[in-house]
Chain A
Amino acid sequence: MTTDQDLPMDAQSATLVFAAKGIDVTPNKDQGVIKVVKRPGLDGDRPMIGDRVTVHYTGKLLTGKKFDCSRDRKEPFCFNVGKGQVLKAWDVGVLSMQKGEVCTLLCQPEYAYGPAGNPDKIPPSSPVVFEMELLKFEGEMLTDDGGIIRRIKVKGDGYTNPNDGASVDVHLEGSCGGRLFDCRDVNFIVGEAEDKGVPLGVDRAMDKMQRGECCVLYLKPKYGFGSEGKAEYKIGPDKDIVYEVTLKDFQRAKESWEMDLNEKLDLAAGVKHKGNQYFKAGRYFQAVIQYQRIVSWLEMECGTGIEQQKRIQDFILTAHLNLALCFLRIKEYSQVVENCNKVIELDESNEKALYRRGEARLLRNEFSLAMADFQQVLQVNPLKSGSSCSDFHLPEQD
Chain B
Amino acid sequence: MVLLRLEDRRAACLGLVLSALQKQVSQLPVPYTKQQEEADEYGLCRCCIALAEFTKSFVVEVKRKDGNYATTAEDEELRTELLKFCMRSLREPLLEAELNRNRKSSLWLFATEIMVILPAIQESLSELLFFNSLKKSTLMDNSQLKESRACLAYLLFVQLITMDSFPAVFSPVFVLQCNMEYINQLLSSKKESHLLKGLALYSTSLERVQDNSLPVSLLELKSFYSVPQNLLKVLTDCPMQHLRESGLQVFQLFINKLDAEAKHKFFRCILKTSNHAGVESYVVKNIRNQVAFSMKPGNANKWFLGEEFVSLLGLVLCLPQGAETDLLNSMDRIMESLNLLRYLLIRDEGLWSSTDVWEELGRIQDEYLKMLRVCISISRAYYSAELKALRENQKLKAKEARDAARSTRLVKSITVKHKQVSNMSPDVQNQVLQSALVTFDLMESLIVRIEEITEEKLKISN
User: Would you call B411 an interface residue if the criterion is a C-beta within 8 Å of the partner chain's C-beta atoms?
Assistant: no
Whether the pair A84, B174 counts as a contact (CB closer than 8 A) is yes
Q: Which B169-219 residues have C-beta < 8 A from chain A?
A: 169-171, 173-174, 210, 215-217
Whether the pair A84, B171 counts as a contact (CB closer than 8 A) is yes
- A-side contacts of B127, CB under 8 Å: 78
Whether the pair A121, B168 counts as a contact (CB closer than 8 A) is yes
Query: Of the candidates B131, B137, B215, B273, which one forms a contact with A257 in the assembled complex, judged by CB atoms under 8 Å apart?
Result: B273
Supply 14 A–B pairs (Cβ within 8 Å), ascending by A.
Answer: A59-B169, A68-B167, A68-B168, A68-B169, A77-B167, A77-B169, A78-B131, A87-B169, A90-B169, A116-B210, A161-B217, A161-B220, A258-B272, A334-B142
Q: B115 CB to closest chain A CB, in angstroms?
A: 13
User: Would you call B124 an interface residue if the criterion is a C-beta within 8 Å of the partner chain's C-beta atoms?
Assistant: yes
- A-side contacts of B165, CB under 8 Å: 72-73
Interface of B with A (CB < 8 Å)?
A: 66, 119, 122, 124, 126-127, 130-132, 137, 142, 164-165, 167-171, 173-174, 210, 215-217, 220, 225, 229, 268-269, 272-273
| Known A73-B119, A77-B126, A84-B174; 5 more pairs at CB < 8 Å | A85-B174, A114-B210, A144-B132, A160-B217, A160-B220
Ranked 5 nearest A-B pairs via Cβ:
A159-B217, A68-B168, A85-B174, A86-B169, A159-B215
Given the contacts A67-B168, A144-B132, A163 and B220 also touching, CB distance less than 8 Å? yes
Whether the pair A257, B272 counts as a contact (CB closer than 8 A) is yes
Query: Of the candidates B137, B170, B225, which one forms a contact with A85 in the assembled complex, judged by CB atoms under 8 Å apart?
Result: B170
Q: A3 CB to closest chain B CB, in angstroms?
A: 18
Query: Of the candidates A77, A85, A122, A144, which one forms a contact with B171 in the assembled complex, judged by CB atoms under 8 Å apart?
Result: A85
In the bound assembly, the distance between CA atoms of A255 and B269 in angstroms comes to 9
Q: Which A72-102 residues have C-beta < 8 A from chain B?
A: 72-75, 77-79, 84-88, 90
Q: Which residue of B lies closest to A118 (CB)?
A: B168
In the bound assembly, the distance between CA atoms of A229 and B125 in angstroms comes to 41
Whether the pair B169, A120 counts as a contact (CB closer than 8 A) is no
**A-B CB pair tally, cutoff 8 Å:** 65
- A-side contacts of B210, CB under 8 Å: 114, 116
Whether the pair A84, B173 counts as a contact (CB closer than 8 A) is yes
- A-side contacts of B168, CB under 8 Å: 59, 67-68, 118, 121-122
Q: B49 CB to closest chain A CB, in angstroms?
A: 26
Query: Of the candidates B66, B164, B174, B220, which one forms a contact with A86 in the assembled complex, judged by CB atoms under 8 Å apart?
Result: B174
Whether the pair A75, B216 counts as a contact (CB closer than 8 A) is no
- A-side contacts of B119, CB under 8 Å: 73, 75
- A-side contacts of B215, CB under 8 Å: 159
Q: B288 CB to closest chain A CB, in angstroms?
A: 23
- A-side contacts of B269, CB under 8 Å: 255, 257
Give per-residue flags for A46-87: 1 if the beta carbon is below 8 A from chain B beta carbons, else 0: 000000000001010000000110101111011100001111
- A-side contacts of B273, CB under 8 Å: 257
Query: Of the candidates B164, B171, B216, which one forms a contact with A159 in the assembled complex, judged by CB atoms under 8 Å apart?
Result: B216
Interface of A with B (CB < 8 Å)?
A: 57, 59, 67-68, 70, 72-75, 77-79, 84-88, 90, 114, 116, 118, 120-122, 144, 159-161, 163, 255, 257-258, 300, 334
In the bound assembly, the distance between CA atoms of A153 and B272 in angstroms comes to 40
In the bound assembly, the distance between CA atoms of A70 and B167 in angstroms comes to 7
- B-side contacts of A59, CB under 8 Å: 168-169
Query: Of the candidates B130, B142, B171, B268, which one forms a contact with A87 in the assembled complex, judged by CB atoms under 8 Å apart?
Result: B171
Given the contacts A57-B169, A78-B131, A84-B173, A120 and B217 also touching, CB distance less than 8 Å? no
Query: Of the candidates B130, B164, B220, which one forms a contact with A120 in the assembled complex, judged by CB atoms under 8 Å apart?
Result: B164
Whether the pair B164, A75 counts as a contact (CB closer than 8 A) is no
Q: A254 CB to closest chain B CB, in angstroms?
A: 11
Q: A132 CB to closest chain B CB, in angstroms?
A: 10
Q: B303 CB to closest chain A CB, in angstroms?
A: 13
Q: B214 CB to closest chain A CB, in angstroms?
A: 11
Given the contacts A85-B170, A87-B171, A90-B169, A74 and B66 also touching, CB distance less than 8 Å? yes
Q: Which residue of A lies closest to B124 (CB)?
A: A75
- B-side contacts of A67, CB under 8 Å: 168
- A-side contacts of B167, CB under 8 Å: 68, 70, 77
In the bound assembly, the distance between CA atoms of A90 and B165 in angstroms comes to 19
Q: Which residue of A lies closest to B225 (CB)?
A: A257
- B-side contacts of A68, CB under 8 Å: 167-169
Given the contacts A74-B66, A159-B216, A160-B217, A86 and B131 also touching, CB distance less than 8 Å? no
Q: A204 CB to closest chain B CB, in angstroms?
A: 16
In the bound assembly, the distance between CA atoms of A202 and B382 in angstroms comes to 62
Q: B221 CB to closest chain A CB, in angstroms?
A: 10
In the bound assembly, the distance between CA atoms of A72 and B124 in angstroms comes to 13
Q: A303 CB to closest chain B CB, in angstroms?
A: 13
- A-side contacts of B126, CB under 8 Å: 77
Q: Which residue of A lies closest to B122 (CB)?
A: A75
In the bound assembly, the distance between CA atoms of A67 and B127 in angstroms comes to 20
- A-side contacts of B142, CB under 8 Å: 334
Q: Which residue of B lies closest to A115 (CB)?
A: B210
- B-side contacts of A75, CB under 8 Å: 119, 122, 124
Given the contacts A78-B127, A78-B131, A257-B272, A86 and B171 also touching, CB distance less than 8 Å? yes
- A-side contacts of B216, CB under 8 Å: 159-160
Q: B174 CB to closest chain A CB, in angstroms?
A: 4
In the bound assembly, the distance between CA atoms of A334 and B141 in angstroms comes to 9
Q: B160 CB to closest chain A CB, in angstroms?
A: 9
Q: A359 CB to closest chain B CB, in angstroms?
A: 18
In the bound assembly, the distance between CA atoms of A257 and B273 in angstroms comes to 7
Q: Which residue of B lies closest to A88 (CB)?
A: B171
In the bound assembly, the distance between CA atoms of A258 and B142 in angstroms comes to 30
In the bound assembly, the distance between CA atoms of A257 and B215 in angstroms comes to 19
Q: B220 CB to closest chain A CB, in angstroms?
A: 6
- A-side contacts of B137, CB under 8 Å: 334
- A-side contacts of B122, CB under 8 Å: 75
Q: Which residue of A lies closest to B174 (CB)?
A: A85
